[in-house]
Homo-oligomer: A and B are copies of this chain.
Amino acid sequence: MANIAKKVSWSGRGDDRGERTPLLNGDEEVKYNRQVPDTLDYDNSENQLFLEEERRMSHMGFRCLEIRRWVICGLIGFLTGLIACMIDIAVEKLAGYKYFAVKLNIEKYTELGGLSISLILWAVLNSAFVMFGAIAVAFVEPIAAGSGIPQIKCFLNGVKIPRVVRLKTLVIKVFGVICSVAGGLAVGKEGPMIHSGAVVAAGVSQGRSTSLKKDFKIFEYFRRDTEKRDFVSAGAAAGVSAAFGAPVGGVLFSLEEGASFWNQMLTWRIFFASMVSTFTLNFFLSIYHGKPGELSSPGLINFGRFDSDSVQYNLYEIPLFIIMGALGEGNVTLSLYIHRPCLQVMEAMLVAAVTATVSFAMIYFSNDCQPLGQDNTEEYPLQLFCADGEYNSMATAFFNTPERSVRSLFHNPPGTYNPVTLGVFTLAYFFLAVWTYGLTVSAGVFIPSLLIGAAWGRLFGILLSFIASNTFELILNYQFKRNRIWADPGKYALIGAAAQLGGIVRMTLSLTVILVEATGNVTYGFPIMLVLMTAKIVGDYFIEGLYDIHIKLQSVPFLHSDAPPTSHWLTAREVMSSPVTCFNRVEKVGRIVDVLSNTSTIHNGFPVVAHTSENDEPGKICGLILRSQLIVLLKHKVFVERASSRLSQRKLQLKDFRDAYPRFPPIQSIHVSQDERECMMDLTEFMNPTPYTVPQETSLPRVFKLFRALGLRHLVVVDNENRVVGLVTRKDLARYHVGKDGLEELHLAQT
């Protein structure tokens, strides 16, 4: 029903972003800022140092590496599960205290008649929680806002968002999630788990933390983009797994969103991390709940057990499910730009107070009394104005963590909620969710979507059952005799939840598996699939999914899995950037420093050519060197003239590059004296001698396929003499996309 997008800059502060001017083909003298998203290199730079290291390694060495990868994945899973467990317990405790206090207060004032005091108490408590969370996010680490899923999607795609996988981000994220969920906002704690898992993975796999300035000197081999990406996939999967108790869903999420190249061993490791993560959460939560060894809480959200009997569905219900799928779509784009952190905190507090007020008003004006059952599972049943032995079901829906509300909507017996209650609830919660989504707080969109969907799904089920029992039954008596099935609104709540969530996030395969695993029952697999596919098809017709909107708003060079279909017209010659700044195999230090310091053309990769003649004739390609490598070389002053004295010093090793990874110092911080500028640098040993190249005539889809399948960052375009004529980077490819009328060219941030 809703795609909610609010333009919030990922870098948090508007002034972080540089100037942007439209790109012109082949001429890109664009000034830009140092903070612009960088890209990641998923292609190993196989230079001599690397090859020497690999060749020195024995068969046993590779086996040890493999074992180390498994250990890291185990650790990632364990820590992610632990964090999920911590968040869950903290939220439960805090929300428990809050609801307990408010409930006591309400009970006290229901009879006395001063319920406005309860309202104020509730609003203040909510605002206070949210304030802490918003302050942390807005002032300390703005990148921790939202669920972080679009950022992780970008990371896995190869776009580096600054600060996204730092320890500090994780701490703020966890704290922010606890505050915003405990503060009663219309948000969930599941989405952020994916981001948290990814940060854990990035941290553990590198064996150090730059936030803590601590290097454990382990796992140094994995300090490069390729390996890090693999572990971050595992971390994201572990996050999904812990959030929903869905290890297979986690693996599929990582694959659907991230990986381009399917690798069996990697998939198994990701699977292992997911498995460990849900198991850890389950283990510790079951201890916390006082039932050690029972293993009944595999995820943060627990949909509750759908009993096999109640989840039967019939063939004639399938069209209804599909209609529900189509309903689960639509969009509301709310664009508010608030850049000042103070205002952001104020806004978050305001929303928290409004949420409390709206809920309170609805509780107050509804009189939806239901008998208080023997086996009541509600934790805070509010009696309010109901008779003794009854409770207010509307209050139950609002006066609870959203996870519990979802569960009630799925499982409460028919008749628990009346249709008007549900209708009003859906609308109110929907608008709250839309408003909440753009806040500068750490929070996910999964749970509010599920809750809205479950509410209108249940409403749909109730209406259907009403229509069926009143009208059609007379005509089609033989068909509808199993009224038992029609009468189960919980089933429709589940389908509605799936439709709503699918319409917003537009995942199909992974979301199907996640929902099936969360319900603990595969019977509903088929209808959930149908619903998600319908939601996606109908949704894509109108607008892109929430995450894609988010990614597009940031103008990052995100590559989809295929080139646009009509792009065969274009060739490498047209998409490439040219002329290219090349270096000679043995290059003057002064020139390197000048090129790297030139702020008008910031390039990250430079083809190395055999000989650049003085005229404009391009040289023959013989390698590719990265800005980061050059910076390390300059820092260690690896100059030809110093080679004799270097003999006494140690030779530059791969380790030096790894130690600098991933935050290479800026060129400005490296001091090069005037004498040194006249020295020469021999790049032979450090450049990648076999970069992938394509001829100029290669069509865009072919370039795209090569680029995407291998996770490249730079692709050198050569003429038939192997001379460098251009360089294709991620943004050159990302700017073409299919619009309504065919191929369109986007304007993207420079990378």
Contacts and interface: CB of A to CB of B under 8 A. Distances in A.
A298 B530 CA distance: 15
A398 interface: no
A221 to B, nearest CB: 12
Contacts of A261: 260-262, 705, 709
A568 B62 CA distance: 12
Interface of A: 44, 46, 51, 54-55, 57-59, 62, 65-66, 247-248, 251, 255-256, 259-265, 267-268, 271-272, 275, 278-279, 283, 292-295, 298, 305, 307-308, 312-316, 508-509, 512-513, 516-517, 520-523, 525-526, 529-530, 533, 560-562, 565-566, 568-569, 610, 620-622, 689-690, 692-695, 697-699, 702, 705-706, 709-710, 718, 720-722, 738, 741-743
A529 B247 contact: yes
A230 to B, nearest CB: 12
B262 A62 contact: no
Contacts of A692: 694, 706
Contacts of A694: 690, 692
A562 to B, nearest CB: 7
Given A307-B308, A566-B57, A692-B706, A265 B561 contact: yes
Contacts of A247: 525-526, 529
19 contacts: A46-B698, A55-B568, A55-B569, A62-B566, A247-B526, A248-B509, A260-B262, A263-B561, A268-B509, A271-B509, A275-B529, A293-B314, A294-B315, A295-B315, A521-B522, A620-B721, A692-B694, A706-B710, A718-B722
A46 to B, nearest CB: 6
B522 A275 contact: no
A256 B517 CA distance: 20
Contacts of A58: 566, 742
Contacts of A521: 520-522
Contact of A529 (B271, B525, B530): B271
A262 B262 contact: yes
B526 A275 contact: yes
A135 B73 CA distance: 52
A317 to B, nearest CB: 9
A569 B54 CA distance: 8
A263 B54 CA distance: 31
**Which of A263, A517, A530, A621 has most B Cβ within 10 Å?**
A263
Contacts of A512: 248
Contacts of A57: 566
Contact of A314 (B295, B316, B560): B295
A526 to B, nearest CB: 6
Nearest to A703: B690
Contacts of A509: 248, 251, 267-268, 271
Nearest to A70: B537
Given A562-B265, A722-B721, A693 B690 contact: no
A738 B720 CA distance: 37
A46 B702 contact: yes
Nearest to A689: B697
A530 to B, nearest CB: 8
Contacts of A264: 256, 560-561
Nearest to A572: B690
Contacts of A294: 312, 314-315
